[in-house]
Amino acid sequence: MSSISPEDDAKRKEFYERLARSALSPLWLSLAALVTRQPSSGLKAAMWSYADCRALLMEAGGLVSVEEAERRVLVLENSAFPGQSRITTSLYAGLQLVLPGERARSHRHSQSALRFVLEGTGAYTAVGGERTPMYPGDFIITPSWEWHDHGNDTPDPVIWLDGLDIPLVQALDTSFMEQLGQIEQPVLRPAGDSLARFGANLLPVDHRPTGLTSPVFSYPYARTREALDTLRRNGEPDACHGYKMRFVNPVTGGFAMPTIGTFMQLLPRGFASGPYRSTDATVFTPVEGEGRSQIGEQILEWSARDVFVVPSWATVRHLASSDAVLFSFSDRPVQLATGLFREERIQ
Amino acid sequence: MSSISPEDDAKRKEFYERLARSALSPLWLSLAALVTRQPSSGLKAAMWSYADCRALLMEAGGLVSVEEAERRVLVLENSAFPGQSRITTSLYAGLQLVLPGERARSHRHSQSALRFVLEGTGAYTAVGGERTPMYPGDFIITPSWEWHDHGNDTPDPVIWLDGLDIPLVQALDTSFMEQLGQIEQPVLRPAGDSLARFGANLLPVDHRPTGLTSPVFSYPYARTREALDTLRRNGEPDACHGYKMRFVNPVTGGFAMPTIGTFMQLLPRGFASGPYRSTDATVFTPVEGEGRSQIGEQILEWSARDVFVVPSWATVRHLASSDAVLFSFSDRPVQLATGLFREERIQ
Amino acid sequence: MSSISPEDDAKRKEFYERLARSALSPLWLSLAALVTRQPSSGLKAAMWSYADCRALLMEAGGLVSVEEAERRVLVLENSAFPGQSRITTSLYAGLQLVLPGERARSHRHSQSALRFVLEGTGAYTAVGGERTPMYPGDFIITPSWEWHDHGNDTPDPVIWLDGLDIPLVQALDTSFMEQLGQIEQPVLRPAGDSLARFGANLLPVDHRPTGLTSPVFSYPYARTREALDTLRRNGEPDACHGYKMRFVNPVTGGFAMPTIGTFMQLLPRGFASGPYRSTDATVFTPVEGEGRSQIGEQILEWSARDVFVVPSWATVRHLASSDAVLFSFSDRPVQLATGLFREERIQ
Amino acid sequence: MSSISPEDDAKRKEFYERLARSALSPLWLSLAALVTRQPSSGLKAAMWSYADCRALLMEAGGLVSVEEAERRVLVLENSAFPGQSRITTSLYAGLQLVLPGERARSHRHSQSALRFVLEGTGAYTAVGGERTPMYPGDFIITPSWEWHDHGNDTPDPVIWLDGLDIPLVQALDTSFMEQLGQIEQPVLRPAGDSLARFGANLLPVDHRPTGLTSPVFSYPYARTREALDTLRRNGEPDACHGYKMRFVNPVTGGFAMPTIGTFMQLLPRGFASGPYRSTDATVFTPVEGEGRSQIGEQILEWSARDVFVVPSWATVRHLASSDAVLFSFSDRPVQLATGLFREERIQ
């Protein structure tokens, strides 16, 4: 850009002030930051150690009163966006602790939520009149605008990872929320009903979907693990992904949730994945195993139940030092629906 | 229509003859038969007793030489269309016997085929490099234009019901067929691979479908039965269908086959279904149980492994005298794709 | 097949007779004819000269009484299927004459119909409360199960080509038909309404389609011709098709009708198309120009308003001796929906 | 919430500080702001007077050097988000001035852009080798990741409204941008080619879409206006929308752009629309006419070429004091794809 005389500079400043008073701003000053050559949010690769987080969560369990219990969540906040409750630019993640005997009141909201169970057996999530038990490794959905509640009737604490599309819903300005009058929704059907009804490669003959979310709202780990084991026994791993599957909505074959893509992958012991990058910043949590991931220049050493995040378009390589299974989620369904998704296997 | 003078009549006849020589015909003589007030193919409701058919099939086993073995099928022919090898206007059905030690050469064809196992355990069907074992009640697909072969390595005969879209493919004039050079396709993956890979509410992360048929080509009865039992335990039966599910292609949520819809329904003992009719003439075969069906004015008494057919738009009522499970198939996917499907619950 | 002893032969005959009495037939005798290596319906390439047909149609105009007028159609019958009122295995075609002052009663039926205007200006077709005028080259739809009627208020006869899916609807056994109580449906909107409402690359903001057929039911030739001219000015012709477009349903981008694909193509003077074959037997009628088409070994010389048919999988080459525009239709939408369509450019 | 002792309060503060050091934050402090009962971005209803903006834009024309010309845009910035270059939470809008003789270099970016021409005739936008002329009221698309450039070869200034999905692309962190080596892309086809090729209710017979954006990238106002006039002549206005249409991608029938919905509506003189609200904050610009809109408690008086914005879930009523035509755009396609869209006609 050519140099500008002090006089011109002053003129421009005065002009910009007048613009501001008319709610206008000069694009020539901001364009370079708005339309960038590559993803440029500044999102940081980062990891949260489960051991550390668990200790703080337990401490919170002592500090936060019963009334506040339904919010006993520690938000995993990307340091690039302090105070914004986001782990990526479009997604929220948090660790939730439910102590023995606690129950959350039934409510519903526009935001889609996933729960990925990290610790404890025997809590439940209720959706659509069905209470599903929660075991480590289970992927559970509380769909947009469906009543949901949960509780822990066991003597042990339960901890899960929450994933929500809160920042995306903010960007679209479409948040709605309601409390159900009663504390808990009535239980209408036994556990396992939705899985049998919708998840056995059959659908009720006249089923008409009422939303975009999978009616199978609980994907038990045992079944997922078995599928991954079969893939492993029967073929070679993908160079960049190992054995990787995405959870699907059986009514459409699309993603299980309209705004959040969810995945599970198995990396055999010693497997080193080839460099790969994609535009969907992704949150990972290992279910089993240990390893490390190189993200750009950064190296993260992880073991089971840690949580780490890979920014958009950062090159990632995983190395599994034992057989490892990783759950992950991102906003890929939105990127695909808008034509904005890109991915690259780097040679 | 007004009466016509003999002179005019002669004129017309001469005219019609001249038309015929020009490959023309007068619509006013045929329209009433072409565009009818209601489905009018003349298809008959009919039943084939398994016991009778089995005896004839065994007799055929003795008559038909080894070279002919791969065609050892008795076609269930609707008496309304003699010599046309169709059980409905658009579908073919046959009973196939595979004797111990027999194998069929690998081939492929445009026609989509289903196999519904009636008797015998331990035969296999091979598709896409996977051999799936065949047990009674299993629904197995040999998809359009995929290599397939089968064999029976057990000491007992195996019998299944074949369902194909042969008449539809004739109507569209799109038949292709090829023999594979070798007798059998190589086995690339163990049994159960496709079910784990595509049927566990997960899909391989980069899966792109290559056809319109479900990559899950074997739907084991055990799993289907369990889903039906769950529905039964957890809710009331549909007045017309009992507990009825359709088999789905997990990649799309649509029908498992592009031309043939397949269904399984459970009718509890004593259940009498309300009158219902639909435009998709349907082939039924009970897997378990006994009962009778009223189809129009006709009553058919059935037990396990019989086969019966309900014509388009015929009113049907089922009465189950014991817990009964019925498999059925029809051309519903084509009727839905073309906007021609109708159904009615009759009050 | 190995030779059979007279004794065995007699045994088999007796067995076949017993089978027939049980509505069974031996597949080993019919399989080769049912599942063929290539399309094998026996459909013939054929042409109907407009001049000849027109003379016969006018003669019919004198013979057929007023009461029969609404059926004053000469069916173009493929000689491979005498008495079956089909021009291809799945489609019907006929030439319809409407004399001055004649009107057809309003009715509706499951069958989808197209009208391609060959001669005369000023007749109308009414659909959905709108009467569209009919000019030569216009492609007009009377959608499945929508009320339609027509009339000719001009002093000249009007002739069009009818195309219907009658044989397909027979194969699916889904024919329904109703007469409207009154002779004509009321006119609710002026001509051109549906084209402006749905055909200007805009849709009413809350439009929800009620069927699978294009709500634009009249595609005027002037507009179609202009689009073809633009393609011709701006690029090279396709080696096999010249400049060829398909009519679309603007609500979906799919075919204008769910069962019949419709096309218009421009072949510049002297253009000789490369050999091509496809599984959708196709009916052609030139709107303008002259030329000849080689279909297999057969050569047909055509000029405007003749009608000719190309069978499934027959190799076709067109040679245009003047600038020529050809309208054509086939069952391609059904073949695509069922995965049965194939085409090949032959090198 | 129960009151907290000073001691507990101190404990909590210390705890929160430790959390912050671990990149964690307590959800119980932020949840109410994250998941709100209603859309709560704080976006303001606002209007920009064209006369005022035009004067400032001309002034900018004098201030901003030739090198900066391609960015001579005044961003319409919602006062709720100062410095963020957004008119709604997900969309960007700006007024662009192109002076006689100016040209913009060819580039491409992930962001989808629309141009709505406000003043001047004879500038052009080039996309895909075609230069489309720009007239007032024309809606023009520069699709995601397609090369585009523009210029003004006339003696008069040209001004248009830019609409982009910049904030959405930021939220998804998927921005890519490239400059073409050469200044302008070569002209491969004359103006009007894409409209004839894709916009005449026909598509090239073998067309396969390469993206999610309409291949018709210019929707001339003359044609849009004519469609609206036809609707007006032939029926009653919608109580909330008058005569309102959405621009469509003729290849799919969906929105013309994957991230931005575009609409045009005609409000007859004296028409007062019923109260309506929707979750897609919408930018309006009148093409013709005058009127006022009540948005919540605020009233905006507008005339042609002003720009105003209606926030998510704000109730809006329009009153047209003359025949008025309004162009508008919003992120509705994204809201529909994610299941987040809501609208309400308020009784």
pLDDT, tens only, A197-240 = 999 999 999 999 989 999 999 999 999 999 999 999 999 999 99
Instruction: Please report the pLDDT score of residue A69 as a whole number.
Output: 62
Instruction: Please report the pLDDT score of residue D63 as a whole number.
Output: 86
Instruction: Please report the pLDDT score of residue A151 as a whole number.
Output: 94
Instruction: Please report the pLDDT score of residue A1 as a whole number.
Output: 43
Contact B202/C at CB under 8 A: no
C-alpha radius of gyration, chain A, whole number: 22
- Coil vs helix vs strand at C209: coil
Contact A13/D at CB under 8 A: no
Residue of A nearest to B235 (CA): A189
Residue of C nearest to B67 (CA): C1
Chain-centroid distance of CA A324 in Å reads 19
| Closest partner CB to C202 (pick from D201, D202, D246) | D246
Q: Are strands C243-247 and D202-204 parallel, antiparallel or unpaired?
A: antiparallel
Contact D18/A at CB under 8 A: yes
Q: Is the pTM of this model over 0.90?
A: yes
| Closest partner CB to D90 (pick from A43, A72, A172) | A172
Q: Which residue has the tokens 């970016």?
A: D109
Number of domains in chain D: 1
Half-sphere exposure of A118 (CA within 13 A, CB side): 26
Chains A and D physically touch (3 or more Cβ atom pairs below 8 Å): yes
Average pLDDT of the segment spanning A171-183: 92
Per-residue model confidence as pLDDT tens digits over B77-89: 999 999 999 999 9
More confident residue, C183 or D329: D329
Which strands, in side-by-side order, build the sheet including D46-48? C202-204, D243-247, D261-267, D324-330, D282-288, D307-310, D46-48
DSSP readout, C122-166?
Answer: -EEEEETTEEEEE-TT-EEEE-TT--EEEEE-SSS-EEEEEEE-H
The minimum CA-CA distance between B241 and chain A, rounded to whole Å, is 9
Contact C12/B at CB under 8 A: yes
Return the percentage of chain D with pLDDT > 70, whole number: 98
Classify residue C97: in a domain, yes or no.
Answer: yes
Which strands, in side-by-side order, build the sheet including A343-345? A298-303, A290-295, A316-320, A276-278, A343-345
C129 contact partners, CB below 8 Å, separation of at least 6:
C185, C186, C187, C188, C189
Instruction: Please report the pLDDT score of residue D1 as a whole number.
Output: 43
At residue A27, what are phi and psi to the nearest 5 degrees? -60, -30
pLDDT over 60 (residue B1): no
pLDDT over 60 (residue B45): yes
Enter the tokens of residue B222: 């055990």
Instruction: Please report the pLDDT score of residue B68 as a whole number.
Output: 73
Instruction: Please report the pLDDT score of residue C3 as a whole number.
Output: 66
Classify residue D225: in a domain, yes or no.
Answer: yes
Instruction: Please report the pLDDT score of residue B3 as a whole number.
Output: 66
- Coil vs helix vs strand at C188: coil
What single-letter amino acid sits at C302? W
Q: Are strands B316-320 and B243-247 parallel, antiparallel or unpaired?
A: unpaired
A5 contact partners, CB below 8 Å, separation of at least 6:
none
Residue numbers in B near A139 (CB within 8 A) = none
Residue numbers in C near D204 (CB within 8 A) = 231, 244-246
Task: Flag whether the ipTM exceeds 0.85.
Answer: yes
Q: What is the mean pLDDT of chain B?
A: 95
Classify residue A198: in a domain, yes or no.
Answer: yes
CB A85 within 8 A of CB D29: no
Angle at C189 between CA C183 and CA C190, to 5 degrees: 100
Residue numbers in C near D251 (CB within 8 A) = 253
Enter the tokens of residue C94: 């006929």
**A190 to B249: CB separation less than 8 angstroms, yes or no:** no
| Residue of D205, D265, D330 to mutate for C, most C C-beta atoms under 10 A | D205
- Give the neighbours of chain D: at least 3 Cβ pairs within 8 Å: A, C
The minimum CA-CA distance between C221 and chain D, rounded to whole Å, is 11
Contact B193/A at CB under 8 A: yes
Q: What dihedral angle (degrees, nearest 10) is formed by the CA atoms of B330, B336, B339, B340?
A: 10
Residue of C nearest to D206 (CA): C245
Classify residue A240: in a domain, yes or no.
Answer: yes
DSSP state of B259: S
Classify residue D158: in a domain, yes or no.
Answer: yes
Contact D210/A at CB under 8 A: no
Domain boundaries, position B196: 41-345
| Closest partner CB to D251 (pick from C200, C230, C253) | C253
Half-sphere exposure of A226 (CA within 13 A, CB side): 15
Whole-angstrom distance, CA of residue A309 vs CA of residue C226: 55
C114 contact partners, CB below 8 Å, separation of at least 6:
C139, C140, C141, C142, C162, C163, C164, C257, C260, C262, C329
Contact A278/D at CB under 8 A: no
Per-residue model confidence as pLDDT tens digits over B202-251: 999 999 998 999 999 999 999 999 999 999 999 999 999 999 999 999 99
CB C177 within 8 A of CB C107: yes
Per-residue model confidence as pLDDT tens digits over A89-133: 999 999 999 999 998 889 999 999 999 999 999 899 999 999 999
CB B258 within 8 A of CB C338: yes
First to last CA, chain C: 37
Whole-angstrom distance, CA of residue B38 vs CA of residue B223: 39
Q: Which residue has the tokens 């699309």?
A: A254
Contact D206/C at CB under 8 A: yes
Q: What dihedral angle (degrees, nearest 10) is formed by the CA atoms of B193, B195, B199, B201?
A: -50
Instruction: Please report the pLDDT score of residue C2 as a whole number.
Output: 52
Residue of D nearest to C187 (CA): D234
Per-residue model confidence as pLDDT tens digits over C267-311: 999 999 999 999 999 999 999 999 999 999 999 999 999 999 999
Instruction: Please report the pLDDT score of residue D65 as a whole number.
Output: 74
Contact A248/D at CB under 8 A: no
Classify residue A264: in a domain, yes or no.
Answer: yes
Whole-angstrom distance, CA of residue B266 vs CA of residue D261: 47
pLDDT over 50 (residue D235): yes
Classify residue C34: in a domain, yes or no.
Answer: no
Average pLDDT of the segment spanning A280-287: 98
Enter the tokens of residue C287: 């709107």
Whole-angstrom distance, CA of residue D272 vs CA of residue D239: 8
Return the percentage of chain B with pLDDT > 70, whole number: 98
Classify residue A30: in a domain, yes or no.
Answer: no
**C196 to D251: CB separation less than 8 angstroms, yes or no:** no
Chains D and B physically touch (3 or more Cβ atom pairs below 8 Å): no
Whole-angstrom distance, CA of residue B74 vs CA of residue C80: 29
Whole-angstrom distance, CA of residue C14 vs CA of residue C8: 10
Enter the tokens of residue C264: 């218009």
What are the beta bridge partners of residue C247? D202
C240 contact partners, CB below 8 Å, separation of at least 6:
C273, C274, C275, C276, C345
**B238 to A199: CB separation less than 8 angstroms, yes or no:** no
Whole-angstrom distance, CA of residue A302 vs CA of residue A297: 16
pLDDT over 60 (residue B58): yes
**C202 to D192: CB separation less than 8 angstroms, yes or no:** no
pLDDT over 90 (residue D80): yes
Instruction: Please report the pLDDT score of residue A3 as a whole number.
Output: 66
| Residue of B4, B102, B172, B283 to mutate for C, most C C-beta atoms under 10 A | B172
Average pLDDT of the segment spanning D171-185: 91
Helical segments of D190-344, H only: 193-198, 221-234, 332-338
Whole-angstrom distance, CA of residue D55 vs CA of residue D60: 9
**C245 to D206: CB separation less than 8 angstroms, yes or no:** no
The minimum CA-CA distance between A333 and chain B, rounded to whole Å, is 13
Whole-angstrom distance, CA of residue D193 vs CA of residue C235: 10
A325 contact partners, CB below 8 Å, separation of at least 6:
A137, A225, A228, A264, A265, A266, A267, A286, A287, A288, A289
Per-residue model confidence as pLDDT tens digits over A242-283: 999 999 999 999 999 999 999 999 999 999 999 999 999 999
Instruction: Please report the pLDDT score of residue D3 as a whole number.
Output: 67
Enter the tokens of residue A149: 């509640």
pLDDT over 70 (residue A20): yes
At residue D229, what are phi and psi to the nearest 5 degrees? -60, -40
Instruction: Please report the pLDDT score of residue C183 as a whole number.
Output: 76
C179 contact partners, CB below 8 Å, separation of at least 6:
C105, C106, C107
Residue numbers in A near D111 (CB within 8 A) = 35
At residue C98, what are phi and psi to the nearest 5 degrees? -120, 115
| Closest partner CB to A246 (pick from B205, B248, B263) | B205
* Residue D201: other Cβ atoms inside 10 A: 25
Residue of B nearest to C92 (CA): B34
pLDDT over 50 (residue B134): yes
CB B284 within 8 A of CB B329: no
Per-residue pLDDT band for C185 (boundaries 50, 70, 90) equals: confident
* Residue D186: other Cβ atoms inside 10 A: 8
pLDDT over 50 (residue C1): no
Whole-angstrom distance, CA of residue A300 vs CA of residue C95: 76
More confident residue, D1 or A84: A84
Residue numbers in D near C266 (CB within 8 A) = none
Instruction: Please report the pLDDT score of residue C39 as a whole number.
Output: 98
Residue of D nearest to C249 (CA): D201
Average pLDDT of the segment spanning B106-120: 97
Average pLDDT of the segment spanning D90-95: 98
- Coil vs helix vs strand at B54: helix
How many residues make up chain B in this entry? 347
CB A304 within 8 A of CB A289: yes
Residue of D nearest to A68 (CA): D28
Chains D and C physically touch (3 or more Cβ atom pairs below 8 Å): yes
Whole-angstrom distance, CA of residue D163 vs CA of residue C347: 48
Q: Which CATH number characterizes residue A247's domain?
A: 2.60.120.10
| Residue of C140, C189, C202, C262 to mutate for D, most D C-beta atoms under 10 A | C202
Enter the tokens of residue B271: 């259940």
Per-residue pLDDT band for C347 (boundaries 50, 70, 90) equals: confident
Name residues 63-102 of chain A within 8 A of D (Cβ).
Answer: 63-65, 67-68, 71-79, 83, 85, 88-90, 92, 94
* Residue D162: other Cβ atoms inside 10 A: 20
Enter the tokens of residue A115: 């729960």
Enter the tokens of residue C13: 């005959």
